Chains A and B, each alone.
Chain A
Amino acid sequence: MCEVETITKIAKTLGVPAGEVKLNSEKIITRTNNNNTVSGFATILNVLAQESKSEIARNSTATREIAADVYQWIEFAVLYVAPGSKDKHISHQLLRDFNKLFATKSYLVGYFITLADLAIFYAIYNLVKSLSPVEKENYLNLSRWFDHLQQRPEIRQGGQVLNFTTIYLHGWAKGTHV
């Protein structure tokens, strides 16, 4: 998903106006709201979080450590994950890494949904969408996290739901037969 679309969606999730979001002449993303323009993906998300009163925004800035952690994930999402997800080799490594990470964690930072989850979620959205059910089965932890996010109405925003139900049946059967 492109940066402009991601920012617009996250603004909606956080319940704040997206304002005018576009790439400027140097291909840097900017957001203008109430005559105030900020540029850069992570900076814009930071401003959106400041404006928002939502639970996700609150959790993303709960402590300094959390905020710093979230910021790192956002940078990682935009600088590495989004471009890497389009590369055949890197993308599979990314899926493996995230799957491993979600074996022991419900969320990327702390114990709640934060902007880190949203940024990564949108960065790999098209990649996950492209997976066949059999491929998804290799990434059951990642699938659980992804499905959890997409099922939340404020994140789905009426959009299409990627199908994970068939792999759940596989997973269940596998789990019960060991």
Chain B
Amino acid sequence: MATGTLYTYPENFRAYKALIAAQYSGAQVKVAENFVFGETNKSAEFLKKFPSGKVPAFETAEGKYLSESNAIAFYVANEQLRGGKCPLAQAEVLQWLSYADNEIVPASCSWVFPLLGIMPQQKNSTAKQDATAILSVLNNKLLNSTFLVGERITLADIVVFSSLLHLYQYVLEPKVRAEFGNVNRWFVTILNQPQVKAVVKNYTLCETALVFDPKKYAEFIGKTGGASDKKQQAKAKEEKKPKEEKKKEEKPKEELDAAEEALLAEPKSKDPFDAMPKGTFNFDDFKRSYSNEDESVSIPYFWQKFDPENYSIWFGEYKYNDELSKVFMSCNLITGMFQRLDKMRKQAFASVCLFGEDNNSTISGVWVWRGQDLAFTLSPDWQIDYDCYSWKKLDASSEETKKLVQQYFSWTGTDKDGRKFNQGKIFK
């Protein structure tokens, strides 16, 4: 019987597939302790085993490695779950696994993730229609079948069910799902199997659909949305561009529309930090020290090399801590921001930490970059997230700053209200 370790963050619907399958088969699947999303799965050790760096990932007791959630679930399942002895039934199981990955998951993610605030809202998104079409297909199928394949629960049910979890949790409120009575009947049946209940805990069907919160995410969308938002974006860019840069540029003609203007601006997207003196601090050297050595070495190294003339240290606090719920979502918020700031990496370093637990947490971080001003205004690409934070420049010579740097770089201590350190993410 399959035995091994599953790497995942908590409440990952993809990991559920394997965990539920294991409940049926009796496979010994242990969830890796101390897994930190974005850190563990990006470490050299992890990438050697799982080159994609994605989770869930499974390491067998014999030291073999599997990635892709469907493959892992297949491996830890049993014959019955895989469709039994009949090749046609096995193929039907496979059919539903492909359907889940190719149709359901993309539609679900693009509908739900923007509402959770972990993905920008897409203008003209067809996610809702796509999901509705999928639910209709399932509804027709489940009018005549108790389960998706044969007369018992198989991986088809487990995988399709897991892929629908977010939809049923966040958007399919009663009046929306009323149309899909057969899917509802089947979903609730699966949800209440003891093997499923053992894995999917504290789950409730949606009462009121999540709505996009424009107040909270106004800036967030404004900068990433469709063409109509581009004008504003272009305007904002104009206002915020540093003076020297502006002079070098030809003033764009008034008639240019936003898209053309954006195109025009494209080739100039060289590194905005280039305009600032390099000074004596070398980010690469420090990052190398930070990655390879203990903080008892790398933090003193930082202070020894830091050049306050040409570099600055900042404290950034998330403004909407009250609205943070699940730890994994908050972590996605941080890693998402890091990704959008990718081009800033070379001349910046940050440690952003999450304190507290589900439904009671805060995000804050210590940032270092070249220059003395708020770096995010240097490029329109960097303005998506920074408005969601309040920024304070720290005095590099003060004791207080030394303490903050110590705390954030070494992932210790608490936030100002005493919430314990939960997870940290490094921008480097």
Whether B185 pairs with A104 at a CB distance below 8 angstroms is: yes
Whether B184 pairs with A145 at a CB distance below 8 angstroms is: no
Whether B151 pairs with A144 at a CB distance below 8 angstroms is: no
Given that A103-B185, A105-B185, A111-B193 are known contacts, is A175 also in contact with B143, CB under 8 Å in the complex? yes
Given that A103-B181, A104-B185, A106-B186 are known contacts, is A148 also in contact with B146, CB under 8 Å in the complex? yes
- B139 partner residues in chain A, CB cutoff 8 A: 175
Whether A140 pairs with B143 at a CB distance below 8 angstroms is: yes
| CB-contact partner of B151 in A111, A143, A151, A172, under 8 A | A151
Dominant secondary structure of chain A at its interface with chain B: helix
Task: Kindly report which residue of chain B lies nearest to residue A150, judged by CB atoms.
Answer: B151
Q: Does B144 contact A (CB under 8 A)?
A: yes
Bound Cα distance from A48 to B276, whole angstroms: 85
CB distance from B314 to the nearest CB of A (A): 54
Whether B189 pairs with A148 at a CB distance below 8 angstroms is: no
Bound Cα distance from A152 to B84, whole angstroms: 14
Q: Does A176 contact B (CB under 8 A)?
A: yes
Dominant secondary structure of chain B at its interface with chain A: helix
Bound Cα distance from A24 to B57, whole angstroms: 64
CB distance from A100 to the nearest CB of B (A): 11
Q: Does B208 contact A (CB under 8 A)?
A: no
Bound Cα distance from A144 to B144, whole angstroms: 5
Most chain A CB within 10 A, of B143, B186, B189, is at B143
Whether A106 pairs with B189 at a CB distance below 8 angstroms is: yes
Q: Does B145 contact A (CB under 8 A)?
A: yes
Bound Cα distance from A112 to B194, whole angstroms: 10
- B52 partner residues in chain A, CB cutoff 8 A: none
Q: Does A171 contact B (CB under 8 A)?
A: yes
Whether A171 pairs with B144 at a CB distance below 8 angstroms is: yes
Whether B184 pairs with A171 at a CB distance below 8 angstroms is: no
Within 8 A of B (CB), among A34-81: none
Within 8 A of B (CB), among A123-171: 140-141, 143-145, 147-148, 151-152, 164, 168, 171
Whether B192 pairs with A145 at a CB distance below 8 angstroms is: no
Given that A111-B192, A151-B151 are known contacts, is A104 also in contact with B144, CB under 8 Å in the complex? no
Considering only CB atoms and an 8 Å cut-off, how many residues of chain A contact the other chain?
A: 23
Task: Kindly report which residue of chain B lies nearest to residue A176, judged by CB atoms.
Answer: B140
Bound Cα distance from A171 to B139, whole angstroms: 11
| CB-contact partner of A104 in B136, B151, B181, under 8 A | B181
Given that A152-B151, A175-B139 are known contacts, is A144 also in contact with B145, CB under 8 Å in the complex? yes
Most chain A CB within 10 A, of B139, B150, B189, is at B189
- A15 partner residues in chain B, CB cutoff 8 A: none
- A172 partner residues in chain B, CB cutoff 8 A: 140, 144
- A19 partner residues in chain B, CB cutoff 8 A: none
| CB-contact partner of A171 in B136, B143, B192, under 8 A | B143
Whether A106 pairs with B151 at a CB distance below 8 angstroms is: no
Task: Kindly report which residue of chain B lies nearest to residue A168, judged by CB atoms.
Answer: B144
Whether B151 pairs with A175 at a CB distance below 8 angstroms is: no
Whether A106 pairs with B181 at a CB distance below 8 angstroms is: no
Task: Kindly report which residue of chain A lies nearest to residue B193, judged by CB atoms.
Answer: A111
- A151 partner residues in chain B, CB cutoff 8 A: 150-151
Bound Cα distance from A164 to B182, whole angstroms: 18
Whether A145 pairs with B146 at a CB distance below 8 angstroms is: yes
Bound Cα distance from A145 to B185, whole angstroms: 12
Bound Cα distance from A161 to B244, whole angstroms: 84
Task: Kindly report which residue of chain B lies nearest to residue A165, judged by CB atoms.
Answer: B144
| CB-contact partner of B192 in A103, A110, A140, A164, under 8 A | A110
CB distance from A3 to the nearest CB of B (A): 26
- A164 partner residues in chain B, CB cutoff 8 A: 144
Residues of B whose CB lies within 8 Å of any CB of A are: 136, 139-140, 143-147, 150-151, 181-182, 184-186, 188-189, 192-193
6 tightest A-B CB contacts, nearest first: A175-B140, A148-B146, A111-B192, A106-B189, A168-B144, A151-B151
Interchain Cβ contacts under 8 Å between A and B, 22 examples: A103-B181, A103-B182, A104-B184, A104-B185, A106-B189, A107-B189, A111-B189, A111-B193, A112-B193, A140-B143, A141-B143, A144-B144, A144-B146, A147-B144, A148-B151, A151-B150, A171-B140, A172-B144, A175-B136, A175-B139, A175-B140, A175-B143
Known pairs A105-B185, A144-B144, A172-B144. 19 more at Cβ < 8 A? Answer: A103-B181, A106-B185, A106-B186, A111-B189, A111-B193, A112-B193, A141-B143, A143-B144, A144-B146, A145-B146, A147-B144, A148-B147, A148-B151, A151-B150, A151-B151, A171-B143, A172-B140, A175-B136, A176-B140
